[in-house]
Amino acid sequence: MSSDDVVARVTGVSKRYALYASPRDRLKQYLLPRLRGALGLKSHAYYREVNALSEVGFTVHRGESLGIVGSNGSGKSTLLQILCGTVAPSSGTVEIHGRVAALLELGAGFNPEFTGRENVFLAASLYGLTQSQTQQRFQSIAEFADIGEYMEQPVKTYSSGMYVRLAFAVIAHVDADLLVIDEALAVGDATFMQRCMRFIRRFRQRGSLIFVSHDMNSVMSLCDRALWLDRGQVRALGTPRTVAEDYLEYSIRQVHGEEVEVESIRSPSRDDGGVPQSDEGARAPIPAYDGELTVKANLDLASGWKSGAGELLDLYFTDEQGEHQKVMRGGERVELVIKARVHQRMNRPIVGFMVRNRLGQDLFGDNTLPFTDVSPTPATAGQTLVARYRFRLPMLPNGDYVLTASLADGDLHDHVQHHWLHDALMFSVASSKVRWGMVGVAFDRISLEAS
């Protein structure tokens, strides 16, 4: 890429802080060196110097997403503050080309005595928006934040989740070239997380992203490259998968200490995205899962769009006997029912769904297109469509999930989405024994033998 494509360039950046043993030493450092210098005596430092960052360098190009990982105290927050201009580096240079919007910590940039509305105008002005520009975008900001009447209350009364909602709503509407996000999103609820992830994925099509997280799945899902900071130094810079694997190995070494010696194993095709193949095991009783999946209807509060030609009416799960189910285990056979009403004739109606995790990653889904391609089911105004999907419900790790549903008309290559709802159903999984990966499977056998 050319230099014109560079949004951020960090070159040899270091940040040093002076740590004092007591307030008395701080006063000594302020007075005595000047006095000793005036007397021609050698000065003495009453502090010890700590390097928060040491010779850090990287480049972020336009349209690129960079993930930053590292343990607590590795310098991630300091680096982000330097990128945003709130902290000056001790040495090195930082070049930023374009507008930077940042979500670093709860309440940053907000006056706790101001209302949410007043803080929107305050924060937007810091990003370079005029009062009239903010006024034009205020309704959209308020809808994105979705905090209702609290918009007119002092932000000191807000919960941590409301702080994040308001702060993210502002940075989503300031036309930034570079979006910088720290771990603050972790306090958001499932619906808001989905909204943020949808915005981030759209933003990546035109802007650049620097994303700090301890969640390796988030980094691998959202980022093109990853940087690993360790004690203020760049330990690795490369593909998200490579950096995540190295960071995980390092973390294991730190946990085990001297108890176990961990040896690195490198695959020749470690970055090819492939998955090693394994032999099929023998069959045996299925291990216990003991997960509980609770389903909550969210049709009235779901966001999305509609054309008026039709609308989704209802979504629910049933068991094999057709009984409505709001609590399920995972692993059992279920039927998802989606009902829709047609307001204008549709020659080839299609009903579909997709289940996503809290990061907005697609887990599983399907639609009626394979059936309607072979046997179209035209519907006239006033008719009701009922789509049924029978499948074995996956076993999911603990967490929150959403189901997106849609009603369309057409075929694979030429269709129109008439009603789309992002969060039509909400899932909550508790007490799950699925610890690894995004979806669990019903294992036929897990055994251990010694000979």
The domains of the chain, with CATH numbers, are: 3-256 (3.40.50.300), 292-430 (2.70.50.60)
Q: Edge to edge, what strands does the sheet with 6-19 contain?
A: 48-61, 6-19, 91-96
Cβ count within 10 A of residue 404: 22
Q: Which residues pair with 379 in a beta bridge?
A: 346
Nearest to 226 by CA among 76, 103, 65: 65
Task: Report whether 213 contacts 184 (CB < 8 A).
Answer: no
Identify whether the C-beta of residue 285 lies closer than 8 Å to the C-beta of residue 429. no
Per-residue pLDDT tens listing for the chain (451 residues): 455 689 999 999 999 998 888 888 888 888 888 787 777 777 778 888 889 999 999 999 999 999 999 988 899 989 999 998 889 999 999 999 999 998 876 656 788 899 999 999 999 998 889 999 999 999 999 999 989 999 999 999 998 888 888 999 999 999 999 999 887 666 667 778 788 888 888 898 889 999 998 878 778 888 999 999 999 999 999 998 888 878 877 876 676 555 445 455 454 544 444 433 433 433 444 455 567 889 998 888 888 888 889 999 999 999 888 888 888 888 888 999 999 999 999 999 999 999 988 777 888 999 998 887 778 889 999 999 999 999 988 888 888 899 999 999 988 778 888 998 988 999 888 877 776 677 777 666 665 577 7
Using CB atoms within 10 A of its CB, is residue 217 exposed (0-12), middle (13-18) or buried (19+)?
middle
Distance (Å, whole) CA 169 – CA 249: 37
